[in-house]
Structure 1
C-alpha cells in the first residue's frame, strides 16, 4: 500500500482523502471535559487540521511521487494557441461531467503532435515540434507540471505518433521522413541513448500503438502501398496484418483485454477495427470530421479528436453510435491520451531482472538487453561497447551493480 505524508498526516494514495493516523501529543488528551466532550473536541480539531493541511499542501488533486488511483481523465493537445486541455473525468456520454482545466504553453506556437501518459508516475509525454518532452508531477485537476525534461530531439517535421510501454518504461516514436521507428528508456535523459528498432522496408510510418502486456507493437506505413503491421516490441517477428483498402492511417489504438486494434483512415473517412491478426475487420462508422488527428480506446469507447472541427467525440466501439461530441473553442486538437493510473499499476517489469547496461525491451521471447545507436552488445549480453572515431578508442558502458 502506498502512502503519502503531509504535516504529520498520513494518506492512502489509493483512496481519495483517506486519513490513517494523525500524530497527537499526550498533552492533548489531558482535557478537563468528559470523555465524550474530549473525543468530540479532538475530532473537530483533527478535521480542521486535515482541511488546513490539504489546502496548504495542495493534495486534493496533486501528487508528488506518482498518480492517484482516482485521477482519471482525458488529456488533449491543442494548437493555436498551444496548451494542454484536460477533462477531469473520462466522458461516457452526453450527460457526463465535462469539467476541464487548461494549461497554456510558454510558446503559443508550439505544435503538440502526439501524447502518451504514465499516470503511475504522474507523467505526460508529449511530442512537440521536433522533440519529445516529459512533463513530471502532472495533475489532471490542476493541469500543470512542476518540471519539464527533454527526452529526445531530432524528429523530422511530420505527424508520426509516440507510444509508451508502461511495463518496461520505454518510449517509442515514428519518424516518417527518416523512415524508421525508434525507442529509448523513458526515464533516461541522455539524448544519445536511443535505438532504431525498425527501418527496413519502411516508407512513411505514422500511426503507432503498443500492447506492452502481450508484447506487441502496431504501426501504419502510409507509403505507396499503405498497410498496418504488427511486430514484437524489439522490432522482430514482423507481420503485415492489414494491406487492402487503406489510404492514410494516422492514428491507432488497442483494446488489450479483447485484443482488438482500432484505427482511423483519414483518406476513407472511416473508423475501423480488427483482431490483432487483422481478421474480423469491419468499419465501425463513416465519419466526416475532416482531419481525424488522433484517437484512443478506453473501456468500450473510442475518443477521437478532429482538428478541422475543433472537436472531441466519443463512439461506442460495437454500434458506432456517437455518445458525445464537444466543440473546443480554445484551439485545434491534434493529440489525445487517456490518463488513468488504475489500468497500469498491476504489471511487473521483467526487465528488472536483467541489469542491462543501456536498454531493455520485453520481447516476445522475454526481456532482452539492447544497445543504443553506435554501440554493440558486449560478450556478457548485458553491457554495451562502442567505437569512438575521434579518439580512436573503444568505449564501454557498464551497468552499476
Structure 2
C-alpha cells in the first residue's frame, strides 16, 4: 500500500511538471490558447468545437484563465481554465432567449474579493469565484446603463474600485469608477470627440492605460494613453502610424501589450510602460489571435508601493 501511494505521488508530481512552463503573455484565438515567453511559443491548447474565445483575463493567484465564449450555440458564457491541470469548467450561463444578442465587451478580475466583472451591451455584471459562494448562474447586475455601451473595464484591487470606459453617443466619452459594491458613481476623466476602449489598471505604477481613436482625415489611427487613477497627469504614450486599432490591451510588470483589430496582421505588439518619443513597438509573432492577457505576478504588482495590504495579504506566508 505504501509503494502504491508513493507511486501515485510521483505520478502526480510528474504530471504537474509536464504541465508547467514559463510564459509572459497568452493569446486567445477562437478555439485555441497560445502561450508565449520572450516572443517564442512555448505551449498551446486546442479546445476544438467546445470553445470560441472572445475575451480572457488571468487569475494569477489560482493560475487560471477566465474565458468569455463567443460560441452562441453553447449555453455557457464564461469558463475557467486551470493552466496546470488543463481543467475547463463552466461558470456563467447565457441569459437571453436569443443568445446572438449577448456579447461580452471586456472582463476584469479582482483577486481580493475573488469576483469577475464584465461589460455587455448595457450592464456591468459580476460573478463570485469564492468556494461555496452561491451565485446567480447568469451573473449579478451591478450597474445598468441607459445611454450607451460600457467598453473597457478594470479593477483597482488596492483601493477597491471598478473603472470603465463609457461612450455616450460618440460625443462625450468618459472613464468612470465606483466602489466594488456599486455605490457612489464618479467621473474620473472626460474626453471629447473620441472613443475610449481597452481600459486596464496597473497597481504598481498606480496608473490606468487605454486606447483612443485619433482622427486622420477619412481614416482613424489610435493612441495608447495613460493617466493617474484620479484622471490627472494624462499622457499619450504611443500613436500608431498604421491604423491598426487594438481589440485588446493588457499590462505586465514591464510592458503594455495590444492585439490589433486588423485580422491580416498575425502579430501582437508591446511597448515599455514608460516609452520615449523614439520607442518602437516590438512584435510577438502569434500564429493567430483574438485577445491576449499578460502575466503579472502579485509580487511585481506591489513591489515598492505602500498602502496595498489587500494584495500583499494574498502572498503566501513565509515558512508555510
TM-score range, shorter chain: 0.7 to 0.9
d(CA) in 1 for partners of 2:273 and 2:55? 22
For structure 2, the 5+ residue unaligned runs are: 214-219, 302-309, 315-320
Number of residues paired by the alignment?
Answer: 278
d(CA) in 1 for partners of 2:127 and 2:168? 25
Q: What's the counterpart of residue 184 of structure 1?
A: 127
Q: What's the counterpart of residue 75 of structure 1?
A: 26
- Give the CA deviation at 1:258: 2.2
Does structure 2 retain, via aligned residues, the 8 Å contact 1:123–1:136?
yes
- Give the CA deviation at 1:302: 0.3
1:249 aligns with 2:196: yes
- Give the CA deviation at 1:172: 0.5
1:206 aligns with 2:124: no
d(CA) in 1 for partners of 2:113 and 2:160? 10
- Give the CA deviation at 1:278: 1.1
TM-score scaled by length of structure 2 = 0.76
Closer, same or farther: CA 246–325 of 1 in aligned 2, 3 Å: farther
Closer, same or farther: CA 211–202 of 1 in aligned 2, 3 Å: farther
Closer, same or farther: CA 62–102 of 1 in aligned 2, 3 Å: closer
Q: What's the counterpart of residue 20 of structure 1?
A: none
The 5-angstrom pairing of residues 80-99 of structure 1 reads: 82-87=31-36, 89=37, 96=38, 98-99=40-41
TM-score scaled by length of structure 1 = 0.62
d(CA) in 2 for partners of 1:193 and 1:347? 31
- Give the CA deviation at 1:237: 2.3
SS in structure 2 at match of 1:244: strand
Does structure 2 retain, via aligned residues, the 8 Å contact 1:263–1:272?
yes
User: Could you list the per-position Cα deviations for residues 229-278 of structure 1 after superposition, in whole angstroms to 9, with x for gaps in the alignment?
Assistant: 12211222222122224522221111112210000124551111111111
- Give the CA deviation at 1:328: 2.3
Q: Alignment RMSD, CA only?
A: 3.0
Which is higher, the Rg of structure 1 or of structure 2?
Answer: 1
Closer, same or farther: CA 255–97 of 1 in aligned 2, 3 Å: same
The 5-angstrom pairing of residues 45-64 of structure 1 reads: 53=10, 57-62=14-19
For structure 1, the 5+ residue unaligned runs are: 1-5, 11-52, 64-69, 90-95, 350-401
d(CA) in 1 for partners of 2:189 and 2:227? 9
Q: What's the counterpart of residue 46 of structure 2?
A: 104
